[in-house]
Amino acid sequence: MIVTQTKPIEEILAALTPKTKIFLIGCGECATSCQTGGEPQLKALKSQLEQAGKDVLGYCLPKAPCVAAQIKTELAKNIPLLRQAEAVIVLSCGLGVQSFKDNDRLGLSVISGCNTLAAAVMDAQGNFLEKCLLCSECLLSQTEGVCPVALCPKGILNGPCGGMNKGKCETDNERDCAWALIYDRSIKAGHLEQFKKIKAPRDGRKYARPHKVILNPK
């Protein structure tokens, strides 16, 4: 899940100046789960904008605005309103914002209503925990399902640093050391020999951005 955080209304209004006719787009997946881009948040932003003197023409809530087919469908449904709009505010991660603009044929100004924070899991209490940095070279099969790249502030690949104390990270004594977790899981699983193996340096060529995966070559 991509975790987002709502931008302050002051920042959104500053980005809109001097535009007054606005259309809103939310996200029915990640941003809805984060309570940053679902229908309640769209309605709340609509109210805030109208109080600031803006004319909110309408809104739509595609299931996943980062999917071209879905955002295109919603844009087509709302084309009469979009033709009147001067700007579109997208309440989603940066992927949804860019997907809208990639499929916008009216040349509308796009405003991001959220900050994109992390790729995270949602725990049983509904909290979001960053556990993956999308590093392109997954080590989880070698580290008992614990990612040292994401969970170690130093991204250390071979055992804990000298600052680890009683299983806790030196940067935060409330944070479990990633490598202490990996060690404990390796012991329980009988995989200590795997734990002892030296991991090779990471291949920086695999991190070249932006990534592109072509599934249907023309």
Per-residue pLDDT of the chain (218 residues; tens, 9 = 90+): 999 999 999 999 999 999 999 999 999 999 999 999 999 999 999 999 999 999 999 999 999 999 999 999 999 999 999 999 999 999 999 999 999 999 999 999 999 999 999 999 999 999 999 999 999 999 999 999 999 999 999 999 999 999 999 999 999 999 999 999 999 999 999 999 999 999 988 888 887 888 888 888 87
Whether 40 maps to a domain, the answer reads: yes
What is the span of the domain harbouring residue 194?
139-199
- In a shared domain, residues 187 and 100: no
- Residues pairing with 23 in the sheet: 58, 88
Task: List, in sequence order, every residue forming a beta bridge with 176; answer none if it has no partner.
Answer: 168
Does residue 170 sit in the same domain as residue 95?
Answer: no
* Nearest of 112, 122, 100, 109 to residue 37 by alpha carbon: 112
Claim to verify: residue 102 and residue 185 sit in the same structural domain: no
Number of domains composing the chain: 2
22 and 86 in a single domain? The answer is yes
- Whether 144 and 62 share a structural domain: no
Query: Is 25 in contact with 62 (CB distance < 8 Å)?
Result: yes
Closest alpha carbon to 87 in 26, 13, 19: 19
